[in-house]
Structure 1
Amino acid sequence: MRRPSLHSERLLLRPLDKSDAPSIEAICSQRAVSENLANVPYPYPDGGAQDWLDREAKGLAGINMAITHEGDLIGLIGIKASSERTIGDFVPSIGYWLDLPFWGKGYMQEAVSRLLDWYMPHEPTERIRASVFEDNSRSLNVLQKLGFCEIGRDEGYSIARGTQSPQINLELTANRYKEAMQ
């Protein structure tokens, strides 16, 4: 799928570039960012962003986009195919992170909304999922404001935390998203 640049009121979501590696490493090297993610180590390894960008460029990491504000990369957002497909059931999941100075200012809700506005009409899915660690109330709030509803709880492993942590699993249907955006 071709990834366009997506504009919102304050942000530009754009395809990733190899030049994004230093910014990705700097942001993911912050413990507060990495510990809210399942697959990001802490401390973040030198060269880790370039390795990830190489996999992403080959299509092995889903659909990922840089979140930029005034030309600077401030986060990432992405959608990946479900790893738990059942016959006829395609349920992708969304994930994201944001640099600390931009927390609590509505940037992530703006970015998620913009990506979903583009993605949902073009893909053969009626729903999308997300998981957040229970202690990540900011992310949970973003998703709930956009119409995501809890579908269960379990534990997920965080590489940065080095342990299993309680998580909340959420799902958004296309109809609930339309209703939330009206």
Structure 2
Amino acid sequence: MMPPDWRPPTLTTARLTLRPFTDDDARPLFEHARNPNVTRFTLWDHHQTVGETLAFVRDYARLRYREGMAEPYAITVRPGTEPVGACGCFWAAEPHQTMELGYWVAEPFWGRGYAAEASAAVLRYAFKSYQPERMQARVIAGNFASVRVLEKLNFRYEGTLRASLLRRSRFEDVMMFSLLRAEWAVGELTRGA
């Protein structure tokens, strides 16, 4: 466990700032998290109240920070400060050095490459700081936009786990993708990072 006040470092990209969530993010985040289009392919349902969003910030985000995880990050589009989504990674199987990447972006900001840009920054931080051997991502079948994000990041499709996720009283097929540390490092060299 990290000290109670530990927060992951702020990350910046060409267009985005990724920072830890604060209580002040609850209201603007709620405006996006209550949209059923945004949550169509997420593991969480759209939020019904600002209180539900505040609980996410206070309970989930702060717990993850205390565990020493850089997850979740608030995605903000500079020069703005309000969150337009979230991105982060967590240990999926720590003994096996496997982390999992997750992200979502608010509907008004779809199609601008923000999910890939934010994810690239989080991947860089995670591979350098936590040094996992493998980063995985799960995509609910039919989420073609998320597949495109992972393809941009050089993730490889590994297969589909049929009816492997019970979500909203329905079994979903889940597509598995992965990026190994060596593959990420080659991509970093290619990009000149």
Q: TM-score range by the shorter chain?
A: 0.7 to 0.9
The residue that corresponds to 1:32 in the other structure is 37
In the aligned structure 2, how far is the partner of 1:149 from the partner of 1:81? 19
2:187 equivalent to 1:180: yes
The residue that corresponds to 2:55 in the other structure is 51
Q: Secondary structure at the match of 2:136?
A: strand
Aligned partner of 2:171 among 147, 161, 164: 164
Deviations 1:34-69 (A, max 9, x none): 11101x113x22111111112221337852110001
Q: Which amino acid aligns with 2:76?
A: T
Structure 1 pair 126/90, CA: closer, same or farther in 2 (3 Å)? closer
Task: Tell me how large the CA RMSD over aligned residues is.
Answer: 1.9
- List runs of 5+ in structure 1 lacking aligned partners: none
What percentage of residue pairs aligned between the two structures are identical? 25
Flag the structure with more relative contact order, 1 or 2, with Cα contacts below 8 A and sequence separation at least 6: 1
2:14 equivalent to 1:9: yes
- List runs of 5+ in structure 2 lacking aligned partners: none
Aligned-residue offset at 1:142:
0.6
In the aligned structure 2, how far is the partner of 1:33 from the partner of 1:180? 30
Output the TM-score relative to the length of structure 1. Answer: 0.88
In the aligned structure 1, how far is the partner of 2:122 from the partner of 2:90? 13
2:70 equivalent to 1:67: no
Deviations 1:86-145 (A, max 9, x none): xx4131111111011111111111110011111111113111111011211111111112
Q: Which amino acid aligns with 1:18?
A: D
Structure 1 pair 23/157, CA: closer, same or farther in 2 (3 Å)? farther
In the aligned structure 2, how far is the partner of 1:141 from the partner of 1:178? 20
The residue that corresponds to 1:76 in the other structure is 86
Q: Secondary structure at the match of 1:4?
A: coil
Aligned partner of 2:120 among 107, 113, 119: 113
In the aligned structure 1, how far is the partner of 2:83 from the partner of 2:58? 18
In the aligned structure 1, how far is the partner of 2:15 from the partner of 2:42? 24
Q: Secondary structure at the match of 2:148?
A: helix
The residue that corresponds to 2:96 in the other structure is 89
Aligned residue runs from structure 1 range 122-133, under 5 A: 122-133=129-140
In the aligned structure 1, how far is the partner of 2:111 from the partner of 2:87? 17
Q: Secondary structure at the match of 1:135?
A: coil
Higher helix share: 2
In the aligned structure 1, how far is the partner of 2:150 from the partner of 2:166? 20
